[in-house]
């Protein structure tokens, strides 16, 4: 007797003996058999890398936390110092942010149940767009449900047939996928290499072209050479878009990002950003000239065909934006922490690459030592992120450490002690 049939029969004795197989079970078995025999699913059966890492105790992904604070998380009942978060300003637990999210939840409910294009636009979304445009000194801004969707929608809307998009080879996956969805041609240039970009432009041609870069590169923590890139873009008549996901709230005297950092805000055509880092929530935005934003608003499929960001998330961003402007000391303290950690890690002998931001990599250069370093730090009470190929180029495998304005000196002392101990044990230093 099947388990499902047995449960029913026990509560309904007159049902009688079960058939050899129930119809839905036959259908289910047939579907499962077909999936396991189709060549399409060979890759599924052959994919065992993650399971092997799990069996070895070296799998660093999808680790669930039971409680989360600004700088510490609880995993399996143990508190660990988090140095892998993008919560740069430490706003996820700011009282003003929490209060704003709670009020929005009570007023608007848990979700918008529709796309921005139809029934899912709230006055909160429009208020945030207005405030972002003022903050970033642009004519307009447009809010998406995630940062990934922002790049997908904006790039695919703009880069139609006949457009050439030049992107840095280390650009975020959302930029790469936005280019894949577009009808335009995509050309990659060497990382942060203006000379290689110029060679690419001269080779391909710059008529109807857009250059896209990350402001801060999320794995290595270096900053795009915006002045040189803008000089080229203007000389050849290209537009320029910067993904400031890891720069907004962090770079610049007022936290407006990479363009403010270099004093070139009026020269950048489009600024993209996310709400899942300094803004302590989820979502994304693109900001620029009103005509460009208006066009994206009516052509970005990831906006038109996706549910809008929920009220509590948008209210949290609005509150975070206010804190960013009202409490500049958070950003100033973040930079003091950044300077200390970079100096200390380099002093111990670690390779931190070209980082110039609160994202400070510890470059290991091989997969297994990187995974082992992550695991031993994890067991010692420190959580980092490990990046291996293809997330980083082969031979540049690294631990990605990132810092928060609310990290205490005691926490940083603890982190440095553990990193040094593991680094020496593994022969990294």
- Which residue in 156, 174, 182, 218 is the catalytic one? 218
- Which residue in 94, 277, 297, 418 is the catalytic one? 277
Instruction: Say which residue, 392 or 372, is predicted with more confidence.
Output: 372
Write out the residue range of the structural domain in which residue 368 sits: 53-82+328-425
- Is residue 307 located within the same domain as residue 269? yes
Three-state DSSP class for residue 316 = helix
Ranking 28-32, 237-241, 289-293, 382-386 by mean pLDDT, the lowest is 28-32
Q: What would the mean pLDDT of 365-378 be, rounded to a whole number?
A: 96
- Which residue in 94, 172, 246, 297 is the catalytic one? 246
Q: What would the mean pLDDT of 361-372 be, rounded to a whole number?
A: 95
Of the candidates 174, 121, 111, the one whose C-alpha atom is nearest the C-alpha of residue 297 is 121
- Where among 326, 343, 372 does a domain terminate? 326
- For the chain, report the end-to-end CA distance as a whole number of angstroms: 63
Q: Give residue-wise pLDDT tens across range 217-239.
A: 999 999 999 999 999 999 999 99
**Token pair in block for residue 317:** 């961003």
Q: Please state, in angstroms and as integers, the Cα–Cα distance from residue 110 to each residue in 116, 311, 315, 320, following that order.
A: 16, 7, 12, 19
pLDDT, position 1: 39
- Is residue 281 located within the same domain as residue 339? no
Percent of the chain at pLDDT > 90 equals: 86
Q: Is residue 76 part of a domain?
A: yes
> Can you tell me the distance from the alpha carbon of 280 to that of 137, in angstroms, rounded to the nearest whole number?
22
pLDDT, position 42: 83
Q: Is 218 considered catalytic here?
A: yes
Q: Give residue-wise pLDDT tens across range 104-136.
A: 999 999 999 999 999 999 999 999 999 999 999
Q: What would the mean pLDDT of 183-208 be, rounded to a whole number?
A: 94
pLDDT band at 39 (very low <50, low <70, confident <90, very high): confident
- Is residue 258 located within the same domain as residue 344? no
pLDDT band at 246 (very low <50, low <70, confident <90, very high): very high
pLDDT, position 41: 79
> Can you tell me the distance from the alpha carbon of 408 to that of 340, in angstroms, rounded to the nearest whole number?
12
Q: Is residue 255 part of a domain?
A: yes
- Is residue 355 located within the same domain as residue 278? no
Q: Please state, in angstroms and as integers, the Cα–Cα distance from residue 179 to each residue in 50, 74, 272, following that order.
A: 28, 38, 15
- Is residue 311 located within the same domain as residue 417? no
pLDDT, position 389: 85
Of the candidates 370, 417, 342, the one whose C-alpha atom is nearest the C-alpha of residue 53 is 370
Q: What would the mean pLDDT of 201-212 be, rounded to a whole number?
A: 91
CATH number at residue 57: 3.90.1150.10
Of the candidates 116, 148, 146, the one whose C-alpha atom is nearest the C-alpha of residue 313 is 146
- Where among 306, 326, 346 does a domain terminate? 326
Does residue 317 surpass a pLDDT of 80?
yes
- Is residue 149 located within the same domain as residue 260? yes
- Is residue 181 located within the same domain as residue 205? yes
Number of domains in the chain: 2
Q: Is 246 considered catalytic here?
A: yes
What is the overall mean pLDDT for the chain?
92
Q: What would the mean pLDDT of 262-287 be, rounded to a whole number?
A: 98
Please list the alpha-helical segments (H only) found in 159-265: 173-181, 194-204, 226-236, 258-262
Q: What would the mean pLDDT of 320-327 be, rounded to a whole number?
A: 98
Does residue 23 surpass a pLDDT of 80?
no
- Where among 297, 326, 355 does a domain terminate? 326
How many beta carbons lie within 10 A of that of residue 16, not counting itself? 8
CATH number at residue 122: 3.40.640.10
Q: What would the mean pLDDT of 356-372 be, rounded to a whole number?
A: 96
Percent of the chain at pLDDT > 70 equals: 91
Q: Is residue 30 part of a domain?
A: no
Q: Please state, in angstroms and as integers, the Cα–Cα distance from residue 252 to each residue in 63, 188, 261, 265, following that order.
A: 34, 27, 4, 10
> Can you tell me the distance from the alpha carbon of 384 to that of 407, in angstroms, rounded to the nearest whole number?
14
Q: What residues form DSSP beta bridges with 271?
A: 242, 287
pTM for the structure as a whole: 0.89
pLDDT band at 27 (very low <50, low <70, confident <90, very high): low
> Can you tell me the distance from the alpha carbon of 277 to that of 406, in angstroms, rounded to the nearest whole number?
14
- Is residue 275 located within the same domain as residue 402? no
Does residue 18 surpass a pLDDT of 60?
no
Instruction: Say which residue, 31 or 416, is predicted with more confidence.
Output: 416
- Is residue 304 located within the same domain as residue 363? no
Does residue 319 surpass a pLDDT of 50?
yes
Q: Is residue 129 part of a domain?
A: yes
pLDDT, position 380: 98
Q: Is residue 40 part of a domain?
A: no
- Is residue 142 located within the same domain as residue 285? yes
- Is residue 208 located within the same domain as residue 144? yes
**Token pair in block for residue 337:** 């922490």
Q: Phi and psi (nearest 5°) for 325?
A: -85, -30
Q: Is residue 23 part of a domain?
A: no
């Amino acid at each position: 007797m099947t388990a499902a049939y047995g449960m029913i029969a026990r509560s309904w004795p007159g049902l009688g003996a079960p058939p050899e197989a129930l119809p839905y079970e036959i259908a289910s078995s047939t579907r499962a058999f077909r999936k396991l025999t189709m060549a399409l699913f060979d890759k599924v059966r052959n994919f065992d890398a993650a399971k092997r890492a799990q069996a070895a105790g070296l799998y660093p992904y999808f680790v669930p936390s039971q409680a989360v604070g600004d700088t510490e998380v609880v995993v399996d009942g143990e508190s660990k110092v988090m140095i892998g978060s993008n919560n740069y300003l430490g706003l996820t637990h700011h009282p003003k942010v929490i209060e704003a999210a709670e009020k929005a939840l009570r007023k608007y409910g848990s979700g918008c149940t529709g796309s921005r294009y139809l029934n899912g636009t709230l006055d909160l979304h429009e208020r945030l767009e207005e405030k972002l445009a003022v903050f970033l000194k642009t004519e307009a801004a447009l809010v998406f449900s995630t940062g990934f969707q922002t790049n997908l929608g904006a790039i695919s809307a703009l880069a139609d047939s006949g457009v050439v998009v030049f992107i840095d080879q280390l650009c975020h996956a959302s930029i790469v996928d936005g280019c894949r969805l577009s009808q335009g041609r995509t050309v990659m240039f060497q990382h942060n290499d203006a000379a290689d970009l110029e060679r690419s432009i001269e080779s391909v041609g710059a008529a109807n072209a857009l250059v896209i870069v990350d402001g801060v590169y999320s794995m290595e923590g270096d900053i795009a050479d915006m002045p040189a890139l803008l000089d080229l873009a203007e000389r050849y008549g290209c537009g320029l878009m910067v993904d400031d996901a890891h720069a907004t709230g962090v770079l610049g005297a007022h936290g407006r990002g990479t363009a403010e950092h270099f004093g070139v805000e009026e020269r950048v055509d489009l600024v993209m950003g996310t709400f899942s880092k300094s803004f302590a929530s989820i979502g994304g935005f693109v900001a620029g000239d009103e005509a460009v934003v208006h066009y994206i608003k009516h052509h970005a499929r990831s906006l038109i065909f996706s549910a809008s960001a929920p009220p509590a998330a948008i209210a949290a961003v609005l509150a975070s934006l206010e804190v960013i402007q009202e409490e500049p000391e958070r950003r100033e303290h973040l930079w003091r922490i950044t300077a200390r950690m970079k100096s200390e890690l380099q002093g111990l002998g670690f390779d931190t690459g070209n980082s110039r931001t609160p994202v400070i990599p510890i470059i290991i250069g091989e997969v297994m030592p990187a995974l082992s370093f992550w695991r031993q730090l994890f067991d010692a009470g420190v959580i980092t992120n490990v990046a291996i190929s293809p997330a980083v180029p082969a031979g540049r495998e690294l631990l990605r450490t990132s810092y928060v304005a609310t990290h205490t000196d005691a926490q940083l002392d603890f982190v440095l002690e553990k990193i040094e101990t593991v680094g020496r044990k593994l022969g990294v230093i």
